[in-house]
Structure 1
Amino acid sequence: MRNTRTRARRAALAATAVTAALVLAACGNDGDTTGSGHQDHGSTSPKASATATAGAHNVQDVSFAQGMIPHHQQALEMARLAAGRASSAKVKDLAARIEKAQDPEIRAMSGWLKSWDEKVPASGGSMGSMPGMDHSAHAGGSGMSGMMDDKEMEKLKKASGAGFDTMFLTMMVEHHRGAVEMATTEKTKGRYGPATAMADDIVTGQTAEITEMNKLLGKG
């Protein structure tokens, strides 16, 4: 009886050893099957994948950057007028914040376009030549950009005091609404991560500023 149990125990131990050997061999074969299996996975995952993501953009991303740059440039032009023409400290503060937020965004978008080998809008260049920009889309216009036309900008430049404050706020509300609309389109249709993230910031920040400006106009 004891011999039978001993033989059974030895057979079980031998089976366990064989199973363990097979498992180890299988693991070793997995590593050998790809030859540079883990190396291949590493090179196509963190490194190549990160590069692909960084360069992944579409036509909408290009249109967004090429349209938003001149849009921001006009906002900066309007904001810089406030320092010497506005009578309200709140309007001056708002203008300074607009400049602080949008100037770095212009630099970032210009960098994207250069890296994509796409045209970077020139400062003060023609708005109508830029993709997605409707030069007629000024305050009260039907386009989405909210850009001011030359006559409106001249009128703003000639204003001062309380009259400037009201004109600036009214125009900037429309300008911001255009930017929010453009940014919403980018969030929906864009592919490039940094661009859609910027678009999200624009929607959040400028929507809040629209509310602030409407309150200053007595509409809030």
Structure 2
Amino acid sequence: MKSVVKLVIGTSLFLSAIACSKDDKTQIGHDEDRMMMIMHEMDKMMDTMKMTKDIDQDFSMMMIMHHQTAIDMAKEMLKSGKDTTLKRIAQNMIDMQSAEIRQLQAFINGHMKVPHNINEEQGMQLMMSMEKMARQADLELFTGNIDNDFATLMIPHHQSAMDMAEIEVHFGHDEVPMNLAAKIKVDQKMEIEELQKWLLDHRGR
């Protein structure tokens, strides 16, 4: 878990530096940003989700919602964005995370028929990772530029997925969600690095 904390802190510092570089750009309110609107829809879904206290089940349900939000944001990027690098990243997100949603849903459909491993604490940790992402997103400065806002917001979104995946890897019981969680950690770390590089390359433009 220490490695996760270090990565979260590093990401937060990076995002703060990026935000400072945007001071000379036109800013818009969070509720006016199309990417943030998609995030708010996920928050509403999460608020109505009933936790089962089974780490494998709850992780799978939450990750499906989390992935669907990333897919919706990626589709918005493909529709309205301009940058070819970000469009490639967005399409890759859609392809990979759509496949993972299908795997997670298949797991849920079968897992509901067997006894659950009850643990309330891990479920609370999953929810805390989502709340942390929401707080980070609320600190971001948006310009209304789809390319910039997609890259900026997707970093904390991916970090949240990595945090949840870390919890599942350490405390899960079923190899299906645990293996998917391990894959998510690797894939989304690579995409975070790509998005960070893009933001650094386009800083001040």
Normalised by the length of structure 2, the TM-score is 0.60
Report the aligned-residue RMSD: 2.8
Specify the code of the residue in structure 2 equivalent to 1:188. Answer: H
1:86 paired residue among 81, 87, 90: 81
Q: Return the alpha-carbon distance in structure 2 between the equivalents of residues 219 and 179 of structure 1.
A: 25
Shift of 1:138: 3.7
Gaps of 5+ in 2: 1-52, 114-122
- 2:56 aligned partner: 61
- Return closer, same or farther for 1:182/1:102 CA change in 2, 3 Å cut-off: same
Report 1 or 2 for greater relative contact order, CA contacts < 8 Å, sequence distance ≥ 6.
2
Normalised by the length of structure 1, the TM-score is 0.56
Q: Aligned pair count? A: 138
Q: Decide which structure has greater helix share.
A: 2
Q: Secondary structure at the match of 2:200?
A: coil
- 2:153 aligned partner: 171
Matched, 1:113 2:95: no
Shift of 1:59: 1.6
- 2:69 aligned partner: 74
Q: Which has the larger radius of gyration?
A: 1
| Sequence identity (%) | 28
Q: Residue deviations 1:29-78, cap 9 Å, x none? A: xxxxxxxxxxxxxxxxxxxxxxxxxxxxx921111101111000100000
Q: Return the alpha-carbon distance in structure 2 between the equivalents of residues 87 and 219 of structure 1.
A: 15
Q: Secondary structure at the match of 1:87?
A: coil
- 1:39 aligned partner: none
Q: Residue deviations 1:155-182, cap 9 Å, x none? A: 98x94xxx11110001000100000000
Work out whether residues 179 and 202 of structure 1, in 8 Å CA contact, stay in contact via their aligned partners in 2: yes
Specify the code of the residue in structure 1 equivalent to 2:106. Answer: G
- 1:17 aligned partner: none
Work out whether residues 107 and 176 of structure 2, in 8 Å CA contact, stay in contact via their aligned partners in 1: no
- 2:200 aligned partner: 218
Instruction: Give the alignment of 1:103-182 within 5 angstroms.
Output: 103-117=98-112, 132-133=126-127, 136-141=131-136, 159=144, 163-182=145-164
1:201 paired residue among 172, 179, 183: 183
Shift of 1:133: 3.7
Shift of 1:136: 4.3
- Return closer, same or farther for 1:200/1:211 CA change in 2, 3 Å cut-off: same
Q: Return the alpha-carbon distance in structure 1 between the equivalents of residues 131 and 176 of structure 2.
A: 29
Q: Return the alpha-carbon distance in structure 2 between the equivalents of residues 175 and 219 of structure 1.
A: 21
Shift of 1:139: 4.7
- 1:11 aligned partner: none
Matched, 1:95 2:90: yes
Deviating above 2 A after TM superposition, structure 1's stretches of 4 or more consecutive aligned residues are 130-141
